[in-house]
């Protein structure tokens, strides 16, 4: 938005100090300083990224979990997406810089890392190493004290067996996979310029489940892409039934100015989009509930998160994430109260479409360094902030 609307922002929001784009995020400290000295808004947008800005100061939102960018931009050209025209082609960050940031975060108390990129599976392609992302996952497995590694987003086009093997073989890489589908219709995928087809997509999920039977798979789906017919939409429902997602982020297609799809013929009427969307959400919810119900009676490892969980009159519950990233509300009482960042085991007693409940309490509570870091921040102590250390949220 900043890149696209630049001067309009300053005109309409005179309190803004700096308008910059994703290509010169590394210049932010300098631009802020210049705005302060000149007492005037600074607008600076670069058209290309020279190199990945690995040495920005940062303030971390969470003392026990962190995002680590591995690339910026995207070399794909999906017709509904504005990213390629604004962020440019994918630029990868060097593995050494990524691992240095991961190690520094862990030293500060962080124990869960999410590797972040528009298309993490294309990581390393410009270095000529198709397996670079798999190697990165394995390298994260060697970082002492790093308990959980996640990543987003993969792309079905570039997803390789080497990534599945690395996930399965690296104990701290979590058994959860967010694999964007967008549409189950091959015709729509073609018009979206997504170069995989539904058969290949489903075969990836099969291989993931063969290697990690308990992996939770989530997705993104767009309903009502231009030209989507009833048959196309049925194809999407069909893939959803086969894929058995733990959750899906569902979107009603709407025109994004500047994208190729915005000017495509056969835009689907809103009434039709809404009706299909409702049917999709219902199906996704039914399947997620069935999958969650299958977990009732099983024991999961929960890492607790910040913020109070759900409460009813009789029960105090704290919320956290299972290893497969499912949201779990856990009843706690007495002295065994976990802090955010702590880890415990809990038995699932109830399932809903979007969360699980564990009302039998916790056991095996581990007071982690992440929990210590959270406590220290509460008390105004060391905040786990690495000023001057490499960091970027894309
Ligand atoms: S949808 Fe994702 S893969 Fe496609 S162009 Fe946008 S960022 Fe790239």
- Higher-scoring residue by pLDDT: 341, 394: 341
Q: What is the model's pLDDT at position 389?
A: 32
What value does the mean pLDDT take over residues 17-37?
A: 89
CA distances from 131 to 20, 101, 114, 128 (A): 33, 21, 19, 9
Domain range annotation of the chain: 1-47, 49-293, 299-368
C-alpha 371: how far from chain center? 22
**What average pLDDT does the chain have?**
90
Q: Tell me which of 43 and 60 has the higher pLDDT.
A: 43
pLDDT of 131 reads 94
- For the segment(s) 49-293, the CATH number from 3.80.30.20, 3.40.50.280, 3.40.50.300, 3.30.450.40 is 3.80.30.20
pLDDT band, residue 384 (cuts 50/70/90): very low
Give ligand 1 pocket residues (Cβ under 6 A): 74, 76, 78, 81, 83-84, 118-119, 155
Kindly give the number of the ligand 1 atom that is closest to the alpha carbon of 82: 6
Between 312 and 164, the more confident residue is: 164
Q: What is the CATH number of domain 299-368?
A: 2.40.50
pLDDT at 322 over 50: yes
**pLDDT for 201:** 97
pLDDT for 35 equals 95
Q: What is the mean pLDDT of residues 113-118?
A: 94
Task: Please tell me the distance from the alpha carbon of residue 125 to that of residue 115, in angstroms, as a whole number.
Answer: 17
Token pair for 354: 């979007």
Q: Find the 183 Cα to ligand 1 centroid distance in Å.
A: 14
Of all protein residues, whose CA lies closest to atom 4 belonging to ligand 1? Answer: 78
- Can you give the pLDDT at residue 392? 32
How many CA atoms, within 13 angstroms, populate the side-chain half-sphere of residue 62?
Answer: 21
pLDDT one-digit tens code per residue, 266-281: 999 999 999 999 999 9
Percent of the chain with pLDDT over 90: 74
Ligand 1: which atom is nearest the Cα of residue 153? 2
Stretch 338-365: mean pLDDT = 95
* Ligand 1 closest atom vs CA 194: 4
What is the average per-residue pLDDT within 319-330?
Answer: 96
Tens-place pLDDT, residues 233-263: 999 999 999 999 999 999 999 999 889 999 9
Q: How many angstroms separate the alpha carbon of residue 92 from the centre of ligand 1? A: 15
pLDDT tens for each residue of 124-156 = 998 889 999 999 999 999 999 999 999 999 999
pTM: 0.88
Q: The tokens 């479409």 sit on which residue?
A: 353
Helices (H) and strands (E) in the chain, counts: 11, 17
State in Å: Cα 194 to ligand 1 middle: 9
pLDDT band at 388 (very low <50, low <70, confident <90, very high): very low
Give the Å distances, CA to CA, from 44 to 12, 17, 73, 89, 99: 17, 11, 18, 20, 30
Distances in Å between the Cα of 217 and the Cα atoms of 221, 288, 374 are 13, 10, 29
Percent of the chain with pLDDT over 70: 94
Q: What angle, 0 to 180 degrees and rounded to 10, lies between the N-to-C axes of helices 230-243 and 198-211?
A: 10
CB 328 within 8 A of CB 355: yes
Distance 284 CA to ligand 1 centre (A): 23
Mean pLDDT of 360-374: 91
Could you identify the residue written with the tokens 């994918």? 90
Number of Cα atoms under 13 Å in the Cβ half of residue 286: 9
Model confidence band, residue 310 (pLDDT cutoffs 50, 70, 90): low
């Amino acid at each position: 938005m900043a890149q696209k609307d630049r001067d309009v922002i300053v005109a309409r929001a005179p309190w803004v100090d700096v308008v910059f784009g994703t290509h010169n995020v590394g210049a932010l400290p300098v631009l802020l300083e210049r705005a302060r000295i000149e007492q005037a808004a600074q607008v600076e947008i670069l058209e290309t990224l020279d190199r990945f800005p690995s040495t920005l100061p940062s303030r971390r939102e969470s003392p026990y979990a962190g995002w680590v960018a591995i690339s910026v931009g995207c070399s794909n050209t999906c017709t509904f997406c504005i990213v390629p025209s604004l962020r440019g082609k994918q630029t990868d960050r060097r593995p050494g810089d990524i691992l240095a940031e991961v190690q520094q975060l862990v030293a500060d108390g962080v124990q869960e890392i999410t590797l972040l990129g528009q298309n993490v599976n294309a990581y390393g392609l410009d270095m000529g190493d198709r397996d670079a992302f798999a190697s990165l996952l394995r390298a994260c497995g060697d970082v002492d004290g790093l308990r959980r590694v996640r990543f987003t987003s993969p792309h079905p086009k570039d997803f390789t067996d080497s990534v599945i093997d690395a996930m399965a073989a690296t104990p701290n890489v979590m058994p959860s996979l967010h694999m964007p589908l967008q549409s189950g219709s091959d015709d729509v995928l073609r018009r979206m310029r997504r170069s995989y087809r539904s058969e290949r997509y489903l075969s990836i999920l099969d291989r993931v489940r063969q290697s990690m039977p308990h992996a939770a798979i989530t997705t993104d789906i767009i309903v009502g892409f231009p030209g989507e017919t009833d048959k196309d939409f049925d194809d999407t429902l069909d893939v959803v039934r086969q894929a058995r997602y733990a959750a899906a982020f569902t979107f009603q297609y709407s025109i994004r100015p500047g994208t190729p799809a915005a000017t495509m013929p056969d835009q689907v009427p809103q009434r039709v989009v809404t009706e299909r969307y409702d049917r999709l959400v219902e199906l996704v919810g039914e399947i997620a509930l069935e999958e969650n119900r299958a977990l009732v009676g099983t024991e999961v490892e929960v890492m607790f998160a910040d913020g109070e969980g759900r409460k009813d009159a009789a029960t105090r519950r704290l919320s956290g994430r299972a290893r497969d990233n499912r949201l779990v509300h856990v009843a706690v009482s007495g002295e065994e109260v976990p802090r955010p960042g702590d880890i415990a085991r809990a038995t699932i007693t109830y399932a809903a479409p979007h969360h699980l409940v564990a009302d039998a309490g916790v056991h095996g509570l581990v007071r982690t360094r992440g929990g210590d870091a959270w406590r220290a921040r509460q008390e105004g102590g060391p905040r786990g902030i690495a000023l001057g250390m490499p960091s970027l949220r894309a």
